[in-house]
Structure 1
Amino acid sequence: MSKEQILKKEIIKWVKTMNSDDPEQFNSCVMELEDMLLGYIEKNMEVEGNESKIF
């Protein structure tokens, strides 16, 4: 499974959790997603160097 597929899966899980009534689970998912996105962005910047485009 590629990182993009994993990221997509996590985003879908996160969106489903947004509809949940459990704020603790929601906050946990937000933090997980944030960590994954930051890791993904950092890795892309390492690969592409200073000319990296985040979006």
Structure 2
Amino acid sequence: MLGGLLERCDREDAQIRLNVLRGSPARRLYERHGFTVEAEDEVDVFMVREPAPAAPVH
């Protein structure tokens, strides 16, 4: 499910933002899929993923 969403966002050149609870193992999952930490507070970690660059057309 996540893979399909990420592919669609890449095709549409869309940035994705989400938040996870501090200490949640889900953070590692999102990091493996290209999300980076944008900000943190005492409860949440706010993450962002930029769209992947389009493959060159030959």
Q: Relative to total residues, which structure has the larger helix share, 1 or 2?
A: 1
Both structures adopt the same fold (TM-score exceeding 0.5): no
TM-score by length of 2: 0.36
Q: Which structure has the larger Rg? A: 1
Q: Relative to total residues, which structure has the larger strand share, 1 or 2?
A: 2
TM-score by length of 1: 0.37
Q: Which has the higher contact order (CA 8 A, sep 6+)?
A: 2
